[in-house]
Amino acid sequence: MEVTLDTVTVLGRQLLGSSGYSSGSLGNFVIGGKLGIGTINPLSTLHLVGRQTIDDSGNFELMANSTYNSNADRYLNNGCAGRLEFNAPVGSWYFQTSPNGTAGSLLSYYTKMTITNNGNVGIGTVNPAKNLEVVGEIRQSGRNLWLWGASANQNQAIMFSGWGVAHGGLYWRGDTKTFTLQTGDDADYVGNYGPVNLVVTGNVGLGTSYPQAKLDVNGDIKASGAIYAKANGQKYFQGGDDAALYDINIANTIGIFGAQDSTQGNIKLGSNGVTVTGVGGMMKVYDSNNVERIRIWGQNTFEVWGPVWANYFGSNSDARLKTDIRDIQSDATLTKLLRIKGKTYKWNKSECKKIKTEAGANSREDKEEDSQNSGNDSYYDTPQIGLIAQDVEKEFPEFVHENVNGFKGIDYSKLTVVLLEAVRAQQSKIDKLEARLSKLENMK
Measured between alpha carbons, how far is 400 from 389 in angstroms, rounded to an integer?
6
- Rounded to whole angstroms, the maximal C-alpha distance in the chain is 188
Half-sphere exposure of 248 (CA within 13 A, CB side): 4
Contact at 8 Å (CB) between 51 and 65? yes
- List per-residue pLDDT tens for the chain, 444 residues long: 455 554 555 555 444 544 444 455 555 666 778 888 888 888 888 888 877 665 544 444 454 433 334 444 444 444 566 777 888 788 888 888 776 655 555 667 788 899 999 999 999 999 999 999 999 888 888 878 787 767 777 777 777 766 556 667 777 777 777 777 766 655 455 555 555 566 666 788 888 889 888 889 998 888 777 676 665 555 555 555 555 555 554 544 444 544 444 444 444 454 444 444 444 556 667 666 666 777 776 666 777 777 788 888 888 889 999 999 999 888 889 999 999 999 999 999 888 877 765 433 344 444 444 544 444 567 788 899 999 999 999 999 999 998 877 889 999 999 999 999 999 999 999 999 999 999 888 887
Contact at 8 Å (CB) between 42 and 35? yes
Where b means 16+ CB within 10 Å and e means fewer, 181-199 reads ebbeeebeebeebbeeeee
Residue 319, phi then psi, degrees to nearest 5: -60, -30
Contact at 8 Å (CB) between 186 and 192? yes
Contact at 8 Å (CB) between 293 and 305? yes
pTM of the model: 0.41
Between vectors from CA 9 to CA 5 and to CA 15, what angle results, nearest 5°? 70
Domain boundaries, the chain: 2-134, 163-217
Contact at 8 Å (CB) between 12 and 32? no
The residue type of 395 is E
Contact at 8 Å (CB) between 292 and 286? yes
**Nearest residue to 30 (alpha-carbon basis) of 9, 50, 48:** 9
- What pLDDT score was predicted for residue 269? 53
Between vectors from CA 397 to CA 394 and to CA 398, what angle results, nearest 5°? 160
DSSP 107: P
- What pLDDT score was predicted for residue 72? 41
Crossing angle of helices 330-338 and 415-442, rounded to 10°: 110
**For residue 389, what is the enclosing H or E element?**
helix 389-395
- What pLDDT score was predicted for residue 100? 61
- Long-range CB pairs of 371-379, under 8 A, 24+ apart, other chains included: 372/289, 372/290, 373/289, 373/290, 373/291, 376/289, 376/291, 377/349, 379/305, 379/306, 379/347
Measured between alpha carbons, how far is 318 from 341 in angstroms, rounded to an integer?
32
The residue type of 311 is N
**CA distances to 28, 219, 282, 358 from 16, in Å:** 15, 85, 110, 117
The residue type of 282 is M
